[in-house]
Structure 1
C-alpha cells in the first residue's frame, strides 16, 4: 500500500459511485442519502472499514425505509448493482484494512446479505452478489500482492545490510586479527620489559577493537529490534569455474548432497576459498587439472580444491596477486571453520575447507 492519502483514482471511484447513484432514479432526501454514502469512498484507504460500514448501513437503512414506506422509498430494479457503493466498499475493506479476521469480512457479509432481500429482482441480486464477490476477491489479491512486495523490499534491504556488515566484518577483522597475532608474537619475543608491555597493550587493544566491531556488525544486522541472519545459500561458484577456464586452467565443479542455507560470512568465506585457491593454481601450477568439490554434510559444508601437477610451459593469463594460505586459513577460522592443505604423492595439491552451516 502506498499511503493512506486519497489518490486521483479514489476520486474517480467516487464519481463512478455517484453516477451509479444518480442512475437509480431517486430524488429528494433519498438521493441525498445515497450521494452522501458515496462520498466517503474517497477515504477508503484511510478508513476502509468505516467506509464499508457506511455502505452496509445505507443498504440496511434503505431496506428499513422500504418496509416502512414502500411507496415513498421504492427499491430499484434496473440499476447495475445495489447499493451503488457496494463494490467499492467491499474492495476497500479487503485491500486496505489491516488483517482483523472476522471484523474485516463482517461489513462485506452484511452487504451481501442485504442484497438477498431483493428477491423480487433476481437479476439485480445476481449482479450485486457477483460484484461484491469479485471486488472482495480482487481486494484480497491486492492486499496480498502489496504485502509480498513490501516483504521483498524489506528482504532486499536486509540482504544489502547483511552484505555490507559482512564485508566490513571480513575485511576489518582480518586486518585487526593479523595485528593482534603479530602483537602477541612481539610480546613473547621482546627482551625489553617496556617493549613487552607495549606489545601486550597493543594486543589487548586489538582484542577490544574486535569485540566492538562484532557488536557494531550485530547492530547493523538488526531488522525490527531483533538480530537476524538470513541464512542464504552458498554463492554460485560457476562464474569462478568459467573465469578459471578462460585464464587457461580448466576446472570441474562437483556438488554432493543437498544445498542448505548458511550465514553470509560462511558463504563469502567459501567463495573466497575457491577464488583464491584457483588463483594460486594458475600462479603455481599452470596447466593443471583442477576439481572443485562441494560436499554438504550434517552441520557443515566441505569444499575441496584438488589440482594435479602443473605443466611449466603451459599458458595462463596474467594473474593478480592472491591471498596466501596463512591468510586464507585465518579467514576460514574467523568464520568458525578449518582449512587443511597437503601435497599428494603424485605432486598434486589439495586445499580443503570445512565450514559450519548452522
Structure 2
C-alpha cells in the first residue's frame, strides 16, 4: 500500500510566502555577511553564508519533505554549535552579529512544521533546536532569552493556532453534518407523512369510491328505467375514473410504491379535447392547438395536464362570461408545455357561480404541477384576459408510469 505524496505547496499563496521568506532571510544573512565578520576557517570566508542560504531555501521544500528539512536545519545547528565550540571561525564568525548558533530561518521552519507534522514530532524538533540555541550549560542573558523566543515560542504558537484551526474545522464539519442530518430527518418525516396520507387515501377514499362504483353498476343492471340506467352508468364511469386518478395520486405520494395497475382507455380522463368540447357545449368559444406526439409523456403527466386544462376552463366559465379561450398543448422530447389563455370578460360574473368554488383552485394546481416536478405559472394576460400555464416533465417515477412504460426508468 503506497501513501499519498504530499503536494510541493498547498496553494499558490503558500508558495509565494515560502519563496518570499526564503529570499528575505537570504538577504538578511547576506547583510550580516557584508556588515559583520566572515568565517576564517578552512572552508572559506563564505562558509557560514552558504550554510545559512541553503537552510533558507530549504524552506521551499518544507511541505513536500518536512522531516528532511527539519533534519537539515537540526544538522546545520549542530554543525554551527560544533564549529563555535571546537573550531571557532569555521562555520560561525568568531564575533557574529547574531548570537544564535542555529540557522536564522529556524523560527519560520518551526512555525510551518505544525501544519504538516504531528505535535510530538514538532515538540521534539523544537526542543532540540532550543537546547542548541539556548546552551543551558552556559546560560547567558545575551543568548538564552533570544534563543527561546526564536525556537520555543514559534513552535508553541504554531501548535496553538493549528489546534485552534482544527477545532474550528471540526466544529464547522459537525455543524454541517448536523444540518445535513436535520435535512435528512425532515425529508424522512415528509416522506413518512406522504406515505401515511397515501395509505389513508388508498384505504378510506378508495374503499368508498369502490362501493359507489359497485352500487352504481348494480343499479344500472337491475333498474328498468332507461334514464336511471344511463345515470347509473355515468356515475359508475365517473367513479371508475376517480378511482384511477386516486390510485395515480397515491403512486406519486408513495414515490413509486406499488399501486394497482390499469390500462388507460379512451374514455378515461386524459384527453383535453373532451374538455374543449364540453366548454364549447356550454357556450364558451374554445380553441385547441396540439403540437407534437402525446405519447411522448407518461400517463401521470398527461393527467396533470388534463387537470390543469379542466380547472382553467372551469375558471373561465365561472369568472369570465362571454370570454373565449385557447388551449395550447406542445409535446416535445423533454415534456409538455400547457397553456390556457382567455380573453377579457364581456360582462360581470354570476355571483352565485363565482362564489361556488373554494378559492384554492390555482394553489392546488400549483401543488399538483410541482408534485410531478413541473413549473406552474398563472396571471393576467395582455388585453385584460388571464393565462394559466405549466411546463411539465416527460416522465414521473410512479408505479403507474412504470407499468405503462417498462422503459421509462431509463429515460
Q: TM-score, normalised by structure 1?
A: 0.47
User: Under a length normalisation based on structure 2, what TM-score does the superposition of the two structures give?
Assistant: 0.42
